[in-house]
Amino acid sequence: MVVISFVLLFSVTVHAAENDIQNTINSVVITNVQAVQAENLDAVMKTIHTQSPGYLTTKQQLQPLFDNHDLKYQILSFTYIGRDNQYAVARVKQSTQKLSGPTFHNNVLDMIQVFRQEKGQWKFWNQAILEVTYVNQ
């Protein structure tokens, strides 16, 4: 009976910890999209791990995008996949639609996004685009 109680307590504790991480990762995704929508480069970069392989490229590419386009971003779905000791992984679908600016192809991205902690906070580490669907304007 003691063993069963311990297993149940451990299972509930692990499940609660995973829910906390899932909620935190989801919050990072939402915060990032809100910052990109607001065209706030500093806020966007705070959601990305400073040692991320894409950190500098992202920083260099966003400002010209902000300067030339007004885009609308929307998270269509978020699925937390899991984590290990170093990384957390989620699948995210995001739509991007041009409101104004030069040529831009409206799209839906289906991505696997990887997160890593920096100073105790989960941040974007990298991503792999699974599929790009272009949407008519």
Count the residues in the chain: 137
Distance in Å from the first CA to the final CA of the chain = 62
pLDDT at 137: 60
C-alpha span between 23 and 95 (Å, rounded): 21
What pLDDT digit, counting tens, does each position of 60-92 carry? 999 999 999 999 999 999 999 999 999 999 999
pLDDT at 18: 83
DSSP run (H or E) holding 34: helix 2-37
CATH, residue 101: 3.10.450.50
Dihedral angle sign, alpha carbons of residues 58, 64, 67, 70? negative
Instruction: Tell me the residue range of the domain where 72 lies.
Output: 2-134
If 0-12 CB within 10 Å is exposed, 13-18 middle and 19+ buried, where does residue 110 land?
Answer: middle
What pLDDT digit, counting tens, does each position of 13-26 carry? 556 778 999 999 99
Tally of domains in the chain: 1
